[in-house]
Each structure stands twice: as C-alpha cells, then as structure tokens.
C-alpha cells in the first residue's frame, strides 16, 4: 500500500537508501544506477531505485528542512528502508574549512522543532556506529582530507546565530551547519533503523563566504565526492548485510 506522500509500494525501494534534499541531486545519483526506475514523483519528492555495482539501492528526495525530511523518512521506513545515508550541502563553521570540503557528521546539535516531538532535547542525535565507521573508512579511499565531527541542524535558514553563539560553536569545534541530519538521526533512532550523513560544503558561514560566485565547480567536485562516499558506503553495508 502506498504512503500518503510517497506513492510507491514496499517492493519499489531498497533497504539501503540515500537521502538528498535537492531533486536534481536525486536525478544525478540515479544516473549512476543501472536500470534506474522512478518510483515516486508525487510532490516532486523524486525516488529512484536501481542497481549500483550489482547492489539494489534507492535514492530519495526529502525536500528542505526537518519537517519534510521526517515525513519522507517515516514513509521510507514503512516501505521497508533499513539503512539511510543523507548526502547534502552545508555551510562550514570551522574556519579551516571552505567550499568543496567534505564533512561526515558524527552527531548533530538539535536546533530544530521537529525532533522535539520525537524525543526530549537531552536525547543525543548521533550517527549509527556501523554506518559511521563504514563512511569514514570509505572516505579515506575517496577523499583523504574528508573531516568528521559534530554539525548543527537548524530550521531558520535566513535567521543567523549571534556572534557570541558562532564563537562558541567555533570554540567547540563544530564543523558545519545544515538543516536535516539531526532529524535523520533522531527519526532513525526512534524507528530502529540505521543512519549516517555526509555533506559537501558550499562555503563557510563563520568567514561569511557562502555560495561565492565562481566557486561552483569547486563545490560540484565536493558534491561528487560526497555522493561517491554515500554510494560506496551503502554498497559495502548492503554487501555485508548490515541493517
């Protein structure tokens, strides 16, 4: 039976799923699949299933922010998804990082409204250990300078943090800021599935350099590396039967 928003059936998706915010990124990933099939386009939440190096994988669009991400993740779990890796974009917080760098999230600061409806704010939003370990090992082979650490997941894209808050984030070695990983980790924890997250940076918030004109090619290379880390990690997890 189809879900409310994802109009596909249980057999239409893999147990191993890449989550992306941008529908264009979902299409880009699907082009790396063999025999890719578009199994949902309702609400422009494009979902494709195909084969990557012999393993059946799915890439699904979540849209932007925690509420939409939670809805899509819930429905994917209902449809049989077991292991999820979010591949997205983020802004750097660590002043040593800049456009094109890749960050793997070990955990997320839950500065969103959605996850509070699932688990109390003192409950940590962390990546699954098996998924995280696989991603870190995979990244060493694909992009050796990939970094990993805590990121921030927040709701209000156009409402900046104060200078004092930003200084504290930098002092605390926060790596980047985005809008979905905390939700992915908490919903996955609540629903008893596994999740991880990796990001390509489109600039640095601390340095006030975000989406700077002329850096599009640098970002695209970072995005390609993040996608490859996500796909190769899902491939390894699928082959190992980890779910």
Q: What is the pLDDT along the chain (243 residues), one digit of tens a residue?
A: 899 999 999 999 999 999 999 999 999 999 999 999 999 999 999 999 999 999 999 999 999 999 999 999 999 999 999 999 999 999 999 999 999 999 999 999 999 999 999 999 999 999 999 999 999 999 999 999 999 999 999 999 999 999 999 999 999 999 999 999 999 999 999 999 999 999 999 999 999 998 999 999 999 999 999 999 999 999 999 999 999
pLDDT of residue 1: 81
The CATH class given to the 10-240 domain equals alpha beta
**CA 18 to CA 159: how far, in whole Å?**
28
In sequence order, what are the beta bridge partners of 238? none
Instruction: Name residues whose C-beta falls within 8 Å of residue 169's C-beta, 6 or more positions apart in sequence.
Output: 93, 152, 161
pLDDT of residue 126: 98
The model's pTM: 0.98
User: Phi/psi class of residue 150: alpha, beta or left (left: φ > 0; alpha: ψ in -120 to 50)?
Assistant: beta
Within the chain, strands assigned E span 16-20, 34-40, 47-52, 55-61, 83-92, 102-111, 125-126, 147-154, 176-178, 194-204, 209-210
Instruction: Name residues whose C-beta falls within 8 Å of residue 240's C-beta, 6 or more positions apart in sequence.
Output: none
**CA 5 to CA 76: how far, in whole Å?**
10
Q: Where exactly are the structural domains of the chain? A: 10-240
């Amino acid at each position: 039976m189809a879900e409310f928003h994802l109009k596909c059936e249980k057999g239409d998706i893999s147990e191993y799923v890449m989550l992306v915010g941008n529908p264009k990124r979902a299409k880009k990933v699907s082009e790396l699949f063999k025999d890719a099939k578009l199994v949902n386009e309702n609400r422009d939440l494009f979902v494709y299933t195909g084969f990557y190096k012999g393993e059946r994988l799915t890439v699904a669009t979540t849209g932007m922010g925690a509420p939409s991400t939670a809805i899509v993740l819930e429905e994917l779990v209902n449809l049989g998804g077991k292991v999820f890796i979010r591949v997205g974009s983020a802004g750097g917080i660590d002043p040593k990082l800049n456009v094109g760098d890749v960050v793997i999230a070990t955990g997320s600061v839950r500065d969103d409204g959605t996850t509070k409806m699932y688990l109390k704010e003192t409950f940590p939003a962390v990546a699954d250990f098996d998924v995280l370990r696989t991603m870190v090992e995979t990244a060493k082979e694909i992009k050796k300078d990939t970094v990993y650490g805590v990121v921030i997941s927040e709701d209000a894209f156009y409402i900046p943090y104060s200078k004092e808050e930003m200084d504290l984030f930098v002092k605390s070695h926060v790596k980047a800021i985005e809008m979905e990983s905390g939700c992915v980790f908490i919903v996955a924890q609540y629903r008893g599935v596994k999740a991880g997250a990796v990001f390509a940076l489109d600039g640095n918030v601390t340095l006030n350099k975000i989406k700077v004109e002329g850096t599009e090619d640098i970002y695209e290379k970072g995005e390609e590396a993040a996608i490859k880390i996500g796909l190769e990690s899902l491939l390894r997890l699928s082959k190992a039967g980890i779910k």
